[in-house]
Structures are given as structure tokens and as C-alpha cells.
Structure 1
Amino acid sequence: MTDIPWSAGRWTHPPVRVEERGGDLLVTAAEGSDAWRLTSYGFVHDSEHALLVPFENDSAVEVEFTAAFGAQFDQAGVFVRASDERWIKAGVEFADGSPQLGAVVTDGRSDWSLAPVPDWAGERILIRLSRSGDAITLRARAADGELRLVRVIPFPPELPAEAGPFVNAPTRAGLTVPLHTWRTTPPDGSLH
């Protein structure tokens, strides 16, 4: 396991404010920040605040943050970017009155999967994306719970990509999310 310094990444779109405090990175998102392409809504949003470094095959990236969300679509987690039209955002999003665990996988058009996790409200969350072979495996946990398998996503091994933490606030100003850790590890040894 290797910690990635906050200073190692580059922002896709700079947040309103970034402050280091006690090892955490406090990220304040711009109102309207988000990532989405076309499906169902018809619009393209390419204004996410993602802090990225290269994401090699046969490695994993983990991000921990506190999910203190309260407005529709407040969100944080891990972002993987190969291009403007090919990316993944995986994490916790506040939707329809509850925290939801899920992912948006985009290859020209976005698809969105999610499941309610109301007991994760205000908890410290770990999101882990493991890149191995022709897939990225998404796992997550709250507090000290067990990692749970969320999704297996097709992703070509030869495709260059970057990954790291993201924070978005599609519907409001003033969302600040504390990011606690960002690290790389070996990929998961097996799917189950």
C-alpha cells in the first residue's frame, strides 16, 4: 500500500476551495459540478472536480472520505478518466433523500447504477477500484465494515487512464467533503 500525496495529482476542473488540514484534503465543490453524458437527461456535464494520477493496469486505487451529504446529488468517490467520453465515477451520492452507493460508467453515453445505503450517512467511506485484465472491479465499505463487491466494469488493459478522488455538487453551493486517504495497492487477487 502506498499513499499518494495530494500534491501529486492534477485537477480536471479546480474546485472552489482546497485546504489541507491534519492530513485531510477539504474540497469545496462548485455549484453545478458534475460528470454525465446524454443518457435519459440529454445533456453533457463535464465539470467534475477530480484529482488524478496515472492508473496502470494491475493496480488498485482507494479513496476514503466522509459522506456528510444533505442535498440532492451531493457526491464523492473515485473517478477514472480515459477521455472526455470514456470515464467512470464510483462512490456515494445523495439521491432521493438517502445516500446511494453506485457508479456512472460512460463510454460515449452514461449508465448509472445505485443502491440505497442509508446507514452510511455521515460515515467514513472507502471506495476501491481494482484494475486487472480487461476489467475494473468496484468495491466499497463504510467505517470498518467488510468490502462489498459493487460492480465489474469492462475496461481494456491497454487503455491509458488516470484515477483519483472526486467531489461534485450538482444542485448547490457550499458542499465541502473531507478526503482522508488516497493510495494505490496491488489489484484484488480474485473476484470473490
Structure 2
Amino acid sequence: MIRLSDRAHGKEVDPSEPFVIENRFEHLEVLPTTNVPTQISFPPLTINAPPKTDLWRKPPHIDVDNIPTIFLPKSIDLNKFRSANVTVSGEWNTLYDQGGLVLYIFGEGLKKWVKTGIEFVFGKPFVGTVATARASDWSLVPLSESAGGKVTVHVERETKDDERLESLWVYVIGENGETLGVREVTWVFGPDVIDCDNPTSEERTMLVGVYGARPTVPEGEGRENEELVVKLDGFKVALFDD
């Protein structure tokens, strides 16, 4: 079992003002390429997310990353990542309540990331996915009422005939075990999307984890500090074995 590192970081944010979140990944180490299991499983996890925690980039003024997260203890070589999945549930009741998988990509001059799981909008939980390079984009997939605000999400690098392609696919595993593709993020394993004509030679790595977030302060007397409790079961990470 690889030891987990629990990194929680909180900061008051005024979205009307430009700001830069401090780099909490400044001293990342990379897992060695030898003696690392290709299948990594974790026990049930719980994350408590206080209000005003979010992971979102909307130029020109918003670049927020203060979510409570539980990561593998070190980043991995980007080319070794194969897949990850988790089952996420919680008492979703406040706008933008969320939790699930999060992948950070480093080494191209700009921190990029993909998150996917549950997000509470329009009065009910959806499967929400956000992919972020220069800016965040966001997609929603309806979740059946019978799911009870619970879903299993799976992300996997696209392959063809044993060749590793550039896309990351996001899947939802239904209550009957059916796997449904809901999002393709085409740039995750490809060249630098910031400057494709002059890609960086810097080593690229990925940090894999699970998270919870409560961007909005809950309404109601005495709820201003109420935390969202996110339950994460069956968190697994798979790496290529070369």
C-alpha cells in the first residue's frame, strides 16, 4: 500500500479581484519507475470540504485552487498513467457542492487539471467534469434519481492496438455495471497545448487524487461554516507496467 498524503489548503477568495493562489505543488517528487505497483487500491476515504473551497480557472480574474485533496504521495511520470476510478457520494445540498477524482498535469509551464465526479447544480446532483488548461470548461451529465447522489467515475488513457494515444476518456459506471463514455479530453497526453509549435522538453508528470469542494456558503442560520462531507470508496489507480 502506498501511503496517502492529505493536503488541505484554505484561503479566503474575493472573485472580484485579481489574485494568484500560492503554488502548493512547488516541491513535488516523482514516484520511482521501479518497484511501483501497477494496481494501487485504497480504503474508504472521507473528505470534509469547508465553504469557499473550489478548483476553477476563469480568466481574467479567477484562478482558485484551495480544495481539500487526498493524493498519491508523489506525482508519477505522465506516460505511466493508465486509469483511475472512485465511487463518490455525499449530502449534496448547496450550489456547486462537488467531489470525485482530480488529476493535475505538470511540466509545461502551466498547471493543468481534470476533475470529475458529482456536482450539485439546478437543485440536484449531476456528473460534472471540468478540464482546465488556459481556462476551465465544464460539462454536465444527468444522474438518475435512483442513484441517490452516488456515482462511480472512471478515467482512462485512450489506447489502440497497444499504442497509447493522447486523449483521456471519462466514463460513468452505471448501477447495472454498464460503462458509458461521457467526455473525451484530447490534450492530456499530447504536446503542450499552450504552444504546440514549440513544445517544452521538460519532463511531464501527473498527480492523482480525490477531492471535495464547497464553493458556495450554505444558506440558513448557523450554516455559514458547515462542511460538506464527501465519501470516496473504491479509489484505485492503474499504471502501465513498462
Check conservation: 2:99, 2:118, Cα contact below 8 A.
yes
1:59-109 CA-partner distances (Å, limit 9, x unpaired):
111111224311111101110101463111111100111111121110021
Q: Which amino acid aligns with 1:180?
A: D
Cα distance, 1:114–1:162 mapped onto 2, change above 3 Å:
same
Q: Measure the CA separation in 2 of the matches of 1:175 and 1:92.
A: 12
Name which of 162, 170, 173 aligns with 2:215.
170
User: What CA deviation, in whole Å up to 9, does each residue of 1:164-183 have, x standing for no partner?
Assistant: 21111111332111111211
Per the TM alignment, residue 10 of structure 1 is displaced from its structure 2 partner at its CA by: 4.4
Match of 2:153 among 127, 132, 153: 127
Q: Does the 8 A contact of 1:36 with 1:43 survive in 2?
A: yes
Whether the 8 Å contact between 1:98 and 1:118 is mirrored in structure 2 is no
Superposition pairs of residues 31-180 of structure 1, within 5 angstroms: 31-39=51-59, 42-53=61-72, 54-55=75-76, 56-57=78-79, 58-83=81-106, 85-119=111-145, 122-132=148-158, 133-154=165-186, 155-156=188-189, 159-172=204-217, 173-180=226-233
Q: Equivalent residue for 2:17?
A: none
Distance 1:34 1:142, change over 3 A: farther
The aligned counterpart of 1:184 is 237
Gaps of 5+ in 2: 11-42, 159-164, 191-202, 218-225
Name the SS for the 1:161 alignment partner: strand
How many angstroms apart in 2 are the aligned matches of 1:120 and 1:43? 35
Q: Structure 2 length normalisation: TM-score?
A: 0.63
Tell me if structure 2 keeps the 8 A contact 1:98–1:116: no
Work out the CA distance in 2 between the residues paired with 1:115 and 1:67.
Answer: 18
SS at match of 2:145: helix
Structure 1, gaps ≥5 residues long = 15-22, 188-192
* SS of residue matched to 1:69: coil
Matched-pair contact (CA < 8 Å) for 2:88–2:117: no
Q: Deviations 1:136-166 (Å, cap 9, x if unpaired)? A: 1100134444121011112125731111211
Q: Partners of 1:79 and 1:151 in 2: how far apart? A: 15
Provide the rounded CA distance (Å) in 2 between the counterparts of 1:78 and 1:26: 13
> What is the alpha-carbon distance in structure 2 between the residues aligned to residue 42 and residue 131 of structure 1?
32
Q: Which runs of 4+ in 1 moved over 3 A?
A: 54-58, 142-145
Deviation at 1:8, TM superposition (A): 2.2
Deviation of 1:123 after TM superposition, in Å, equals 4.3
TM-score by length of 1: 0.78
Q: Distance in 2 between matches of 1:10 and 1:174?
A: 17
